[in-house]
Amino acid sequence: MPKMRVAQISHAKGPFELVERDIPEPPSGKVRVKVQACGVCHSDSVTKDGLFPGIEYPRVPGHEIIGTVDAAGPGVVGWQPGQRVGVGWHGGNCGYCDNCRNGDAFACQTETLVTGISHDGGYAEYMIAPTTALARVPDDLTSVEAAPLMCAGITTFNALRNSGARAGEVVAVLGLGGLGHLGVQFAVKLGFKTIAIARGADKAPLAQQLGAHQYIDSQVEDPAEGLQKLGGAKVILATATSGAAMNAVQGGLAVRGTLLIVGVPDSLNINPLPLILGSRSVKGWYSGTSIDSQQTLAFSALTGVRSMNEIYPLARAAEAYNRMMSGEARFRVVLTMEG
């Protein structure tokens, strides 16, 4: 039996273990993906620390996967061995429940399939994925370039393109980390007047490099006042994980503006009066499904949006994960399966 290496967690809060397993055969409706690269995401802590109920261990994390279809199970149509594919957080959907048929496959009622949580993910040389989880990958993105776009990319791109903001309107991106550094690039390429907000003068050159039209250093300027000077933001994409930072920007929303939350703070205080008086809203955004991932990859290839990455081999998965969790990575961490 041919073997593969995986980096698994064998119990909640347990360490990464690099082990050999049999290479699995794809069952009906699923393909085997030979993984080339897998991004390391903060949400991998769900698997590492057992943050969702019912996770079955051992479990292989990883939901920013790029590889090639290696084998197809019975009944698979439309996907061929050798084809390059991406697999993200959305781990598949049934296609027949009311939400799926209503175009809300992300909220499939039959099964909640999340790659690397409900089934094994991409910290591995091979993984199994349902065809409903597959995205096509453009030739002009390398696998390392494409991997972080499968979660950090789709989350920010899909939130922004569905935000209701129109070309030329003010869109602020709060936070310049793994999500934010992509969010700024996407906002610029989508045609918004893009304002980056972060802490510290040292982030100003980065904001400029990413294409932001203006940078607000929230340590020296009240970000809400800064945005109101520009007429207010139609959308503030909140990628930071600080509730205090989100509290500080909400006063910067324009009339009918939306605070669009994709980062997860512990708690959030919202002042209701400006919401009511200005018909403003606070909204969350789910990352997206496989077709959203595919469109994220295509848009990134077309417009030159790229993640800045630190690269580690699979054998150093524990180190790569710790690097990501430290918050020091510039800006995403990606595992490669060679070596």
C-beta of 74: minimal distance to Zn ion in Å?
Answer: 21
Please count the residues of this chain forming the interface with Zn ion, following the rule CB under 5 A: 9
Buried residues in 82-101 as b, exposed as e (16+ CB within 10 A) = ebbbbbbbbbbbbeebeebe
**Distance in Å, CB of 97 to Zn ion, minimum:** 3
Residue 97 in contact with Zn ion, rule: CB under 5 A: yes
The one segment of 12-20, 148-156, 159-167, 217-225 that binds Zn ion by CB under 5 A: 148-156
Q: CA-to-CA distance for 218 and 140, rounded, in angstroms? A: 37
Touching Zn ion, residues 25-54 (CB under 5 A): 41, 43
Tokens 């417009």 appear where?
Answer: 303
- For the CB of residue 175, give the shortest distance to Zn ion in the complex, in Å: 15
Which residues share a beta bridge with 216? 197
Smaller CB distance to Zn ion: residue 20 or 96? Answer: 96
Q: Which residues contact 8 (CB under 8 A, 6 or more apart)?
A: 16, 17, 19, 58, 59, 60, 120, 123
Handedness of CA 21, 316, 37, 262 (dihedral sign): positive
> Shortest Cβ distance from residue 272 to Zn ion (Å)?
31
Distance of closest approach, residue 16 Cβ to Zn ion, in angstroms: 17
What are φ and ψ of residue 195, in 5° steps? -115, 120
Separation of alpha carbons 163 and 174, rounded Å? 15
Find the shortest distance in angstroms from Cβ 110 to Zn ion.
Answer: 5
The minimum distance between CB 208 and Zn ion, in angstroms, equals 27
Regarding 165 and contact with Zn ion (CB under 5 A), the answer is: no
Contacts of residue 271, defined as CB under 8 A and 6 or more positions apart, other chains included, come to 250, 251
Question: Residue 290's Cα: distance from chain center in Å?
Answer: 12
Cβ 116 to Zn ion, closest distance in Å?
9
Q: For Zn ion, which stretch binds (CB under 5 A), given 99-107, 118-126, 218-226, 255-263?
A: 99-107
Q: Is residue 94 part of the contact set for Zn ion (CB under 5 A)?
A: yes
Query: Nearer Cβ to Zn ion, position 49 or 225?
Result: 49
φ, ψ of residue 34 in degrees (nearest 5)? -85, 110
Interaction of residue 110 with Zn ion, rule CB under 5 A = yes
In this structure, the strands spanning 214-217 and 84-87 are unpaired
Q: Contact region for Zn ion (CB under 5 A) — 101-109, 204-212, 239-247, 295-303? A: 101-109
Choose between 110 and 228: whose C-beta lies nearer to Zn ion.
Answer: 110
Residue 164, classed as helix, strand or coil, is: coil
Question: In a 3-state reduction of DSSP, which class is residue 166?
Answer: coil
Alpha carbon distance 204, 197 (integer Å): 9
Please name the residues in contact with 96: beta carbons below 8 A apart, sequence gap of 6 or more: 110
Q: Assess 108 for contact with Zn ion (CB under 5 A).
A: yes
Read off the DSSP letter of residue 13: T
Cβ nearer to Zn ion, comparing 64 with 169: 64
Q: Which is nearer to Zn ion, 33 or 100 (CB)?
A: 100
Assess 93 for contact with Zn ion (CB under 5 A).
yes
Q: Which of 38, 46, 151, 227 binds Zn ion (CB under 5 A)?
A: 151
**Quick one: which segment of 8-16, 150-158, 166-174, 207-215 binds Zn ion (CB under 5 A)?**
150-158
Least CB distance to Zn ion at residue 69 (A): 22
Residue 307 binds to Zn ion (criterion: CB under 5 A) = no
Residues that bind Zn ion (CB under 5 A): 41, 43, 93-94, 97, 100, 108, 110, 151
